[in-house]
Amino acid sequence: MAILDKLGKYRNTGLLVLRIGLGIMFIIHGFPKLAGGPSGWTSLGGSMKVIGINFMPIFWGFMAAATETFGGFLLIVGLFFRPALILLVFTMIIAALVHFGQGEGLQGASHAIELGIVFIGLIFIGPGKYSVDKK
């Protein structure tokens, strides 16, 4: 369609919308985990058992919560964009494995898998020109 062809010149705006939307959702999703304190972090960090890591669950839980919260913020502003996305991809891999481990199958793990795929794509695309890391 000719009308929609002109939207191609707004790629950076599209990236900004994607970054803001996903970033806000991750802050909303991650902040309660971060505010949950050591008892919540222990429970969250226990998820690392799916890859054979059984030590320091408080640390791993804090890292997951901080990655979701601050990773969401970094995604919005486009600062340390690719390193933040790498951490978010790792978090989504663990989340998907936990869902599989709980017997939820692909239906339960699909959200984490989809977000992981989006984040991998964004690693290659970059933050766009409306970001702190713009090139």
Query: How many structural domains are present in the chain?
Result: 1
User: Encoding tokens for residue 20?
Assistant: 């803001």
Asked whether residue 110 carries a pLDDT value surpassing 80, the answer given is yes
Domain annotation covers residue 104 = yes
- The Cβ of residue 33 has, within 10 Å, a number of other Cβ atoms equal to 20
Q: For residue range 53-108, list pLDDT tens digits in order.
A: 999 999 999 999 999 999 999 999 999 999 999 999 999 999 999 999 999 999 99
- The Cβ of residue 96 has, within 10 Å, a number of other Cβ atoms equal to 22
Q: For residue range 8-56, list pLDDT tens digits in order.
A: 889 999 999 999 999 999 999 999 999 999 999 999 999 999 999 999 9
The answer to whether 22 and 72 are in contact (CB under 8 A) is yes
Taking residues 108-119, report their average pLDDT: 97
Domain annotation covers residue 96 = yes
Domain annotation covers residue 16 = no
Domain annotation covers residue 3 = no
Domain annotation covers residue 6 = no
The answer to whether 116 and 103 are in contact (CB under 8 A) is no
Domain annotation covers residue 84 = yes
Q: Where are the alpha helices (DSSP H) in the chain?
A: 2-5, 11-35, 37-45, 57-77, 81-101, 105-125
Residue type for position 95? A
Domain annotation covers residue 40 = yes
DSSP string, 23-34: HHHHHHHHHHHH
| pTM (two decimals) | 0.93
Residue type for position 88? L
Per-residue model confidence (pLDDT) at position 2: 73
Domain annotation covers residue 13 = no
The answer to whether 88 and 35 are in contact (CB under 8 A) is no
Among 23, 33, 103, CA closest to 63? 33
Give residue 53's domain range: 25-125
Per-residue model confidence (pLDDT) at position 135: 63
